[in-house]
Copies of this chain bind each other. A is one copy, B any other.
Amino acid sequence: MSYIDEVKSLKEQIKQFRNKKFDLTLSGFDNIVISGMGGSGIVGGIVRDLYDKKPVIVINDYNIPEFVNERTLFFAVSYSGNTEETISSTQKAIEKGAKVLAITTGGKLGEIVKEKIEIPKGLQPRAALGYMTMPILNTLSTIKEEEIDEAYSLLNELDENNEWTKEIAEEIFRGKKIPVIYGVPPYFSVSYRWKTQFNENAKVLAYSSNFSELNHNDTMPLKQTYKKKQFYFICLHDGLNERIEKRIQITQEITKTKFRMIDAKGSTPFVREFYLIHVGDWVSYYLGSLRNKDPEDVRLIELLKKKLEE
């Protein structure tokens, strides 16, 4: 499958996995821990954005917190199944008696975890987001059939009509800018997903932060001229939170900065989260394409892994 087809497959992944879940009752657990790195690690953040009936702790590390015990529901997410940090954290969670579930194509993780959902091979991990996220969301909560349908329809629309995302990429490309993405609640992890997509798809440095936290620090230098023209400021836009709306307007006004707004679409947080993510998938894809970068070229990360094994 070409990478562009992988990008376009997100809607199908969500539909295909709409009922995929682990069979368990949540009452036996006090907290949820989700361990993963990079393109698989973002899954934890997305789940935390969308599920808050129990504490969700996201781990991007070799280690696990001391509180993990038999009342912890531990999801290990690694597309390849060979991510050393995730294998390490998962082994520790098993030793501590946590209920450990894995989402992977196989690898070593597939060997050490008994209860797992196996997902299709052959994709870039970051393009397998639907496969990796749906089983956790379905296990923890209920995504309604109408939400799946609406997400499918909106993502499909974006896959068919995304010239406007290419225009954003062209602005970044022409100005040779560094993208900075400002997110909004409750989609805290989406801005970071955009950052990582710019890194991997387009091979450009990029940074992210979220409202309203950024008003307490990032806002200060924004008015300054120091290096500001080097950056391209993107603002995810929900439109449903009156105070955040006001903050976005005032921030632009007093810092004399124009954000490129990305409007959320969809009638529930689930749909809006995936819609906002997918806009970033397209913008970063086009930026990579303009820069003649192969989005599937992650040789540097592979080289690093190889050298780590030496």
Contacts and interface: CB of A to CB of B under 8 A. Distances in A.
A200 B247 CA distance: 18
B63 A185 contact: yes
Q: How many copies does the complex hold?
A: 2
A224 interface: yes
B224 A199 contact: no
A22 interface: no
Given A204-B226, A227-B178, A243-B62, A41 B308 contact: no
Given A53-B67, A243-B308, A212 B85 contact: yes
Contacts of A198: 221
Given A62-B185, A84-B243, A185-B63, A216 B41 contact: yes
A28 interface: no
Contact of A250 (B180, B219, B304): B304
Interface string A203-247: 111110010110111111111101110110000000001010011
B204 A221 contact: yes
A202 B241 CA distance: 31
A55 B53 contact: no
Residue in A200, A217, A231, A253 whose Cβ sees the most chain B Cβ within 10 Å = A217
A65 interface: yes
Given A60-B213, A308-B246, A205 B227 contact: yes
B38 A67 contact: no
A219 B308 contact: no
Interface in A266-310: 291, 298, 300-301, 303-304, 307-308
Contacts of A199: 217-221
A243 B37 CA distance: 15
Contacts of A216: 37-39, 41, 196, 301
A255 interface: yes
A52 interface: yes
Contacts of A144: none
A308 B219 CA distance: 14
A205 B217 contact: no
A195 interface: yes
A157 interface: no
Contact of A37 (B84, B213, B301): B213
B207 A220 contact: no
A23 interface: no
Residue in A186, A219, A298, A304 whose Cβ sees the most chain B Cβ within 10 Å = A304
Given A204-B224, A250-B304, A254-B303, 18 more contacts: A31-B31, A37-B212, A38-B215, A39-B216, A52-B65, A54-B67, A61-B212, A63-B186, A176-B226, A205-B218, A205-B226, A205-B231, A207-B207, A216-B301, A223-B300, A246-B308, A254-B300, A254-B307
18 contacts: A38-B213, A39-B217, A52-B65, A53-B65, A55-B67, A62-B212, A176-B226, A199-B217, A200-B217, A203-B220, A203-B221, A205-B227, A205-B228, A206-B221, A219-B301, A222-B300, A243-B308, A250-B308
